[in-house]
C-alpha cells in the first residue's frame, strides 16, 4: 500500500502539468482527487489532528491568496486551486520553498514560451492544437507545469512522504 500511496501526489502533479500543457486547464476533479487522497492518506498514516489542521489551514491561506491573484487576473483559477491542493500535502514548513521553486520554474517556463513564440510555427507543428495555442501571443502560460514541478521538488521532504517511507 505505501508504494501506491507514495505515488498519489506525483501522479496528480503529472496529470496537472500535462493537462495544463495540452488544454490550458486544470480540472476541478483533479484538484479534488489531490485533496481527497491527502485526507484519506492522513487518516491511514495517523497524521496527528493538529498537524492535519495546520495543513488544511495552510491550504486555505494559499487558496485565499490564489483567488486574490485570480481576481486581479494575474493567475488562472486552476493554478490557484492547484497551488492550494499542493500546499495541503506540503504544509506550512514547505510552502515557502514550494512557492520559490514555482516562481523560478515559472519564470524559466515563461521565458521559454516567449522564445518559442518568436520562432515561426511550421505547418507540421501547427497541426497540433496545443502547440498552436502555446505559440499564440494572446494565450497565457501553462503555469500549472511550474506548480507541479515545484510540488515534486518539495514532496520528498513532506511529513506525508516521510511517514510513508519510515
Give the pLDDT score at 1: 53
Say if CB 109 and CB 146 are below 8 A apart. Answer: yes
Determine the Cα angle at 26 with ends 24 and 32, to 5°.
175
Contact 124, 95 (CB under 8 A): no
Tens-place pLDDT, residues 143-163: 999 999 999 999 999 999 998
101: phi then psi, degrees, rounded to nearest 5: -60, -45
- Three-class secondary structure of residue 162 per DSSP: helix
Rounded distance, CA 56 to CA 33, Å?
Answer: 15
- Give the whole-angstrom CA distance, residue 113 versus residue 133: 11
What average pLDDT values come out for the chain (166 residues) when binned by 10 residues? 85 97 96 97 94 97 97 95 98 97 97 93 87 89 97 96 87
Q: How far apart are CA 129 and CA 126, in angstroms?
A: 7
Domain ranges of the chain: 2-165
Amino acid at each position: 500500500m505505501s508504494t501506491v500511496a507514495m505515488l498519489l501526489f506525483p501522479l496528480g502533479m503529472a496529470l496537472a502539468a500535462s493537462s495544463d500543457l495540452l488544454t490550458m486547464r486544470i480540472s476541478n476533479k483533479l484538484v479534488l482527487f489531490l485533496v481527497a487522497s491527502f485526507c484519506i492518506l492522513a487518516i491511514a498514516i495517523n497524521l496527528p489532528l493538529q498537524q492535519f489542521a495546520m495543513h488544511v489551514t495552510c491550504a486555505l491561506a494559499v487558496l485565499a491568496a490564489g483567488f486574490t491573484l485570480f481576481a486581479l487576473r494575474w493567475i488562472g483559477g486552476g493554478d490557484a486551486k492547484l497551488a492550494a491542493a499542493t500546499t495541503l500535502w506540503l504544509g506550512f514548513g514547505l510552502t515557502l520553498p514550494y512557492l520559490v521553486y514555482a516562481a523560478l520554474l515559472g519564470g524559466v517556463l515563461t521565458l521559454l514560451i516567449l522564445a518559442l513564440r518568436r520562432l515561426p510555427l511550421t505547418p507540421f507543428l501547427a497541426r497540433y492544437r496545443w502547440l498552436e495555442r502555446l505559440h499564440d501571443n494572446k494565450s497565457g502560460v501553462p503555469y500549472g507545469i511550474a506548480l507541479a514541478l515545484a510540488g515534486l521538488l518539495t514532496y520528498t521532504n513532506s511529513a506525508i512522504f516521510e511517514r510513508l517511507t519510515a
